[in-house]
């Protein structure tokens, strides 16, 4: 335990700074891609911090991870092979492991250091993902991985960081085109599509890019407690299956946030989003 006056200062946004009081710094490594920290905080438990920006916290990371993982699994009637792009905190693969019907979970994360540290020190999020033999940790570029797969996955989950720096290609139209081809003919994908309040343009652009390649594009929302902005969006793009026809009985009961009601209501958008996205 170190001096209680250690704070993480998150000042990546020009007009807002957040100071989190730090209990202990558990990991502090420079990877080839970024500065990787795992810190223990007073208010949010253990947290993953990349280049000084809070990524996920033990207090509430399960909300994001459950919403990006369980929704696509339940939307697909018979998923076997799942691709995760990014997701270095291992929360997504830990959620996916709750589904016995999944046979292969390929997690493609460019930064091995993030995964090593999270599996070791962020177990409140990563759980026992390291022990599940269905999970393949592939430390490579997700963009290239997708280019080399054809007609292979039932589900793809794009758990990227913000569309700046290395993650920018994960928001491009070309990436979505390649991702569609990596999916089976009845496959579907989900990506995080940023804050519907602070990043309206990114959400709109994501939807436009996806619509060029997928017949069905649906944005859903959740809360993101440890982020000022309070709401987060995900966008599901599907080649065949519609979430309205999902079999909710397949939803795992081993969850802290999502249930049938939450699943269904996540698709209900407030008026400002309906207007912003041109859905009215």
- The residues binding a copy of itself (CB under 8 A) are 7, 13-21, 41-43, 59-60, 63, 197-198, 223-231, 255-259, 261-262, 264-265, 268-272, 274
Q: Distance between CA atoms of 27 and 265, rounded to whole angstroms?
A: 38
Q: Distance between CA atoms of 124 and 206, rounded to whole angstroms?
A: 31
The first and second tokens of residue 95, run together, are 């959620």
CB of 126 to a copy of itself, least distance (A): 19
> For residues 7 and 28, which CB has a smaller minimum distance to a copy of itself in the complex?
7
CB of 257 to a copy of itself, least distance (A): 4
What's the sign of the alpha-carbon dihedral 62, 68, 69, 74?
Answer: positive
CB of 115 to a copy of itself, least distance (A): 26
Identify which of 154, 98, 120, 127 has the alpha carbon closest to the alpha carbon of residue 29: 120
Task: Clarify whether 106 is annotated catalytic.
Answer: no
89, 120, 159, 186: which one is catalytic? Answer: 159
Query: From residue 235, how far is each of 70, 158, 206, 210, 264 by CA, in Å?
Result: 13, 10, 8, 9, 14
Determine if residue 209 is left, alpha or beta; phi over 0 gives left, psi from -120 to 50 gives alpha, anything else beta: alpha
Query: From residue 45, how far is each of 23, 117, 125 by CA, in Å?
Result: 9, 16, 11
CB of 259 to a copy of itself, least distance (A): 5
Q: Hey, how many other C-beta atoms are within 10 angstroms of the C-beta on 5?
A: 7
> For residues 30 and 271, which CB has a smaller minimum distance to a copy of itself in the complex?
271
Residue 239 in 3-state DSSP? coil
CB of 67 to a copy of itself, least distance (A): 10
Give catalytic residue positions.
159
């Amino acid at each position: 335990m170190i001096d209680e006056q250690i704070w993480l200062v998150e000042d990546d946004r020009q007009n807002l700074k957040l100071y989190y009081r730090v209990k202990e710094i558990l990991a502090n490594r420079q990877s080839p891609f970024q500065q990787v920290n795992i810190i223990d905080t007073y208010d949010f438990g253990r947290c993953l911090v990349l280049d000084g920006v809070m990524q996920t916290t033990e207090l509430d990371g399960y909300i994001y991870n459950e919403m990006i993982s369980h929704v696509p699994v339940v939307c697909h009637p018979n998923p076997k092979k799942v691709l995760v792009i990014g997701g270095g905190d291992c929360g997504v693969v830990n959620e996916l492991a709750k589904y016995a019907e999944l046979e292969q979970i390929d997690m493609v994360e460019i930064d091995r250091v993030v995964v090593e540290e999270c599996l070791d020190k962020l177990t409140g999020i990563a759980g026992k993902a390291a022990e599940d033999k269905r999970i393949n940790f592939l430390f490579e570029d997700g963009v290239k991985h997708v280019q080399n797969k054809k007609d292979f996955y039932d589900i793809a989950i794009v758990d990227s960081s913000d569309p700046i720096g290395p993650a920018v290609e994960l928001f491009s139209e070309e990436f979505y085109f390649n991702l569609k081809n990596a999916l089976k003919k009845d496959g579907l994908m989900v990506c995080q599509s940023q804050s519907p309040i602070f990043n309206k343009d990114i959400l709109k652009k994501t939807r436009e890019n996806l619509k060029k390649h997928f017949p069905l594009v649906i944005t859903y929302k959740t809360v993101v407690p440890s982020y000022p902005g309070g709401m987060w969006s995900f966008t599901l793009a599907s080649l065949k299956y519609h979430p309205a026809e999902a079999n909710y009985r397949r939803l795992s009961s081993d969850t802290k946030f999502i249930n049938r009601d939450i699943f269904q209501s996540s698709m209900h958008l407030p008026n400002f989003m309906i207007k912003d996205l041109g859905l009215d």
